């Protein structure tokens, strides 16, 4: 799939674009199957460590990690996301041609998969264990560009927000402020989640919620204020935040990315990506503290 000119214009005008039916079932199924395999490994490790007494082996994909978290009493998200999860299936997904076709319509033919990536299994509030830090679940209003180094201020960094299950208001889909991406990067302040827009600077009015079916995605401009709603359902809202920019421009994070498609050089292989992460100082902390003091 490639974007129509009207869709590209809408993205630049509104700061976001919902693209339905963007990804094939086979592409999504391969990634979901690998997450299921990874969850099985996590469950076996927790069981061996006597931190759980039930593997929840029969639980479906959209519930099992929540049930394991409930038993373990702490977040398991770090095991599922970058840089701990650098599995081949995730690399293959990042390089999926149908995804790169869409991204390329926005950032151009030199596509760099920015290292600021996240896998987010947003757990149902009803299944959180006692004492669980609810802030881990939250995503207050923020701009993705705010956690990049200032060197990337002039780089168009685009997020593809990709749900692996149908995302709606009940299970915590995105909500955002359209057409608020043209000005400066807003001041962000520390919060238990990480960083959020200074409450005095959050745009006025009601944010727009964006239900997205599995197979669709949201393109987000790096300066569009957005967050996510609480998960009030009984299932995990699985999603990925993947960021992209023109490979010829600063990416804003001194960590390994992927040259996913290029007319000028050879794309990054899986082996090269793994080796780059092994050699890197794996500091994945948000970089907003370079922009604003924290005291």
Q: pTM of the predicted model, to two decimals? A: 0.93
Q: In the predicted model, what is the mean pLDDT of residues 144-172?
A: 96
Q: What is the CA angle 218-224-226, rounded to 5?
A: 70
Percent over 70 (pLDDT), the chain: 93
Q: In the predicted model, what is the mean pLDDT of residues 123-147?
A: 81
pLDDT tens digits, residue range 5-17?
Answer: 999 999 999 999 9
3-state secondary structure the chain: CCCCHHHHHHHHHHCEEEECCCCCHHHHHHHHHHHHHHHHHHHHHHHHCCCCCCCCCCCCHHHHHHHHHHHHCCCCHHHHCCCCCCCHHHHHHHCCHHHHHHHHHHHCCCEEEEEEEEEEEECCHHHCCCCCCHHHHCEEEECHHHHCCHHHCCCCCEEEEEECCCECCCCCCEEECCCCCCCCCCCEEEECCEEEECHHHCCCCCCEECCECECEEEEEECCCCEEECCCCCCCCEEEEEEEEEECCCCCCCCCCCEEEECCCCCCCCHHHHHHHHHHCCCCCCCCHHHCCCCC
pLDDT tens digits, residue range 16-74?
Answer: 999 999 999 999 999 999 999 999 999 999 999 999 999 999 999 999 999 999 999 88
Return the minimum-mean-pLDDT range out of 8-12, 111-115, 122-126.
122-126
């Amino acid at each position: 799939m490639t974007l129509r000119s009207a869709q590209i214009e809408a993205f630049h005008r509104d700061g976001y674009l919902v693209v339905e039916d963007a990804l094939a079932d086979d592409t999504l199924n391969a990634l979901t199957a690998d997450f299921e395999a990874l969850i099985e490994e996590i469950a076996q490790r927790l069981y061996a460590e006597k931190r759980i007494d039930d593997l929840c082996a029969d639980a479906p994909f959209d519930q099992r990690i929540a049930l394991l978290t409930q038993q373990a009493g702490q977040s398991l998200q770090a095991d599922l996301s970058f840089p701990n999860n650098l599995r081949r299936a995730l690399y293959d997904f990042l390089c999926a041609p149908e995804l790169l076709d869409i991204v390329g319509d926005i950032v151009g033919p030199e596509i760099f998969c920015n290292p600021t990536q996240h896998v987010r299994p947003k757990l149902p509030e009803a299944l959180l264990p006692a004492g669980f830090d609810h802030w881990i679940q939250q995503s207050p209003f923020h701009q993705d560009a705010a956690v990049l180094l200032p060197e990337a201020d002039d780089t168009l960094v685009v997020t593809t927000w990709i749900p692996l299950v149908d995302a709606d208001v009940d299970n915590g889909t995105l909500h955002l402020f359209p057409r608020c991406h043209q000005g400066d990067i807003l001041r962000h302040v520390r919060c238990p989640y990480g960083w959020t827009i200074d409450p005095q600077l959050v745009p006025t009015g009601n944010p727009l919620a964006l239900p997205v079916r599995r197979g669709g995605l949201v393109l987000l401009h790096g300066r569009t204020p957005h967050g996510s709603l609480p998960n009030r359902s009984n299932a995990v809202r699985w999603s990925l935040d993947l960021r992209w920019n023109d490979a010829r421009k600063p990416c804003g994070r001194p960590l390994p990315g992927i040259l996913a498609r290029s007319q000028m050089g050879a794309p990054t292989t899986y082996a090269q990506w793994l080796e780059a992460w092994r050699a890197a100082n794996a500091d994945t902390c948000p970089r907003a503290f370079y922009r604003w003091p924290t005291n």
